[in-house]
Amino acid sequence: MCRAATAFRWWAPSATASTSTTSRARTSTSSPVERYGSTVVRMNVPPGPFMARDPRVVAVLDAKSFPVLFDMDKVEKRDLLTGTYMPSTSLTGGHRVCAYLDPSEPTHAKVKQLLFSLLLSRKDDVIPVFRSNFSSLLATVESDLAEGGKAEFNKLNDVTSFDFIGEAYFGVRPSATDLGKGGPTKAAKWLIWQLHPLLTLGLPMVLEEPLLHTFHLPPFFVKGDYGALYKYFSTVAKQALDTAEGLGLSREEACHNLLFATTFNSYGGLKVLFPGILANVASAGEKLHERLVAEIRGAVAEAGGKVTLAAVEKMELAKSVVWESLRLDPPVKFQYGHAKKDLQVQSHDAVFQVKKGEMLFGYQPCATKDPRVFGATAKEFVPGRFLGEEGSKLLQYVYWSNGRETENPTVDNKQCPGKNFVVLVGRLFLVELFLRYDTFTADIGKDLLGSSVVFTSVTKATSGPGSE
């Protein structure tokens, strides 16, 4: 059974709210699925009343009910990125950025089209910029291993991913500007100021509850950090800002949106994605490493020793590994929507009545580990899960992008505009890793956002393009 969020406080549903959630709780620590014998349940979610006016939600926790959150005819997405509370717009220059806009709002289409245009304009730069940044990261891994016998990947990834995203999108590494090496720290601080109501830092409850979960942290304390980030974007994103004006956006509003999309969405996502992929591949061991080495080096050899988009597209196992990592540990685990009208939500076993205005809440790791879809291995990392015709049928149940993997983002939905970019860079990460190494070992743990990975050994490539 899925243990969605045992820190939540559950409340029993009314008789009219659900057709299968009337059994009494067995223990106070059981999941809502176990307590009520249902995958659609009513519950309270954090944060508390000083930040959220109403903590009550209808949780959809299986693969069948979850997609109601993607149906723009049924749900509204206005101001719901973080759920029952919204961070102060002082953290985003006084603007409601695209992530908080419903597709029905005119600015949503303009900003999302700007992001599509940015990604398209920079598509030829992604591979060389990625390789340059992450080859340097792996060189540092090797030097750290030589000096101390271990290399902490997450810290290196935080710095490298921030530089990569800035250079890939705008052609200038943040560390080469006035931001210097401080960009990732400023970005992380700004992210915490927005997400602290949902975070658990491991502090004693008597400290953590009043500090993080009772009142909003004052935006004043990150004003300088945000200002430094904004200066970088306003300087390097001039071409994108020209495009924005053509779409009817002011340069100021567009810049705040570019900052948010790049830092919160892209950089925040890569802080989770790459450690997650690395942790899964490390745990799978040498047999998987051998298969990835053969596929990756074979495709690169066929391309004349070059890493091209066409070569990457031939790497089916690598793509399956990325999808499986996104299925098990999606960078954004929560999705929300207000019911636009009275509607019915269907799970595998029942139909549930939801009233207009009620908040629907999806905890994605439950839905994407649904044993009714993914079978007995639903909670396990299966590298080749999405290979072949049968495997491709399961992609419709991969929801990490705020939509089905078989669908594409448009200006009319809330699916991640960088959906294909994320899957590409996930594969490029594996390409860089297995062109350089035959195998590696690592210690796996947990950190604030996902997996933590510490390299303990690497075995340099003995054949193929990576051995040169």
Domain residue spans in the chain? 32-460
For residue 105, the tally of other CB atoms under 10 A from its CB is 15
pLDDT at 466: 60
Bridge partner residues of 76 (DSSP): 338
Return d(Cα 444, Cα 441) in angstroms, integer: 10
* Chain centroid to CA 69: 17
Q: Which of 408, 397, 411, 389 is nearest to 369 (CA)?
A: 397
pLDDT at 23: 31
Beta strands in 177-235 (DSSP E): none
Return d(Cα 154, Cα 464) in angstroms, integer: 28
> pLDDT, tens digit, for every residue of 41-69?
999 988 877 888 899 999 999 999 999 99
Cβ–Cβ < 8 Å for 64, 351: no
| 383 phi and psi angles, rounded to 5 deg | -55, -40
* Chain centroid to CA 129: 21
> pLDDT, tens digit, for every residue of 275-331?
999 999 999 999 999 999 999 999 999 999 999 999 999 999 999 999 999 999 999
Report whether the peptide linkage leading into residue 47 is cis, meaning its omega lies within 30 degrees of zero: yes
Category of 186 on φ-ψ map: left (φ > 0), alpha (ψ -120 to 50) or beta: alpha
Burial class (CB in 10 A: 0-12, 13-18, 19+), 182: middle
* Chain centroid to CA 274: 10
Q: Which of 259, 287, 275, 283 is nearest to 329 (CA)?
A: 275
Token pair for residue 320? 């399956």
pLDDT at 2: 53
Query: What does the pLDDT average to over 340-345?
Result: 97
pLDDT at 302: 97
For 32-460, the fitting CATH number among 4.10.520.10, 1.10.630.10, 3.30.300.160, 2.60.40.10 is 1.10.630.10
Burial class (CB in 10 A: 0-12, 13-18, 19+), 231: middle
Instruction: Compute the C-alpha angle 360/364/367, nearest 5°.
Output: 95
> pLDDT, tens digit, for every residue of 4-47?
333 333 333 333 334 333 333 333 456 667 776 789 999 998 88
pLDDT at 410 over 60: yes
Angle separating helix axes 419-436 and 126-148, nearest 10 degrees: 50
pLDDT at 48: 76
pLDDT at 208: 84
Cβ neighbors of 293 (< 8 A, separation 6 or more) are 434, 438, 461, 464
Question: Higher model confidence: residue 311 or residue 2?
Answer: 311
> pLDDT, tens digit, for every residue of 429-459?
999 999 999 999 999 999 888 899 999 999 9
Return d(Cα 426, Cα 432) in angstroms, integer: 10
Return d(Cα 51, Cα 71) in angstroms, integer: 27
Q: Is 367 helix (H, G, I), strand (E, B) or coil?
A: helix
pLDDT at 72 over 50: yes
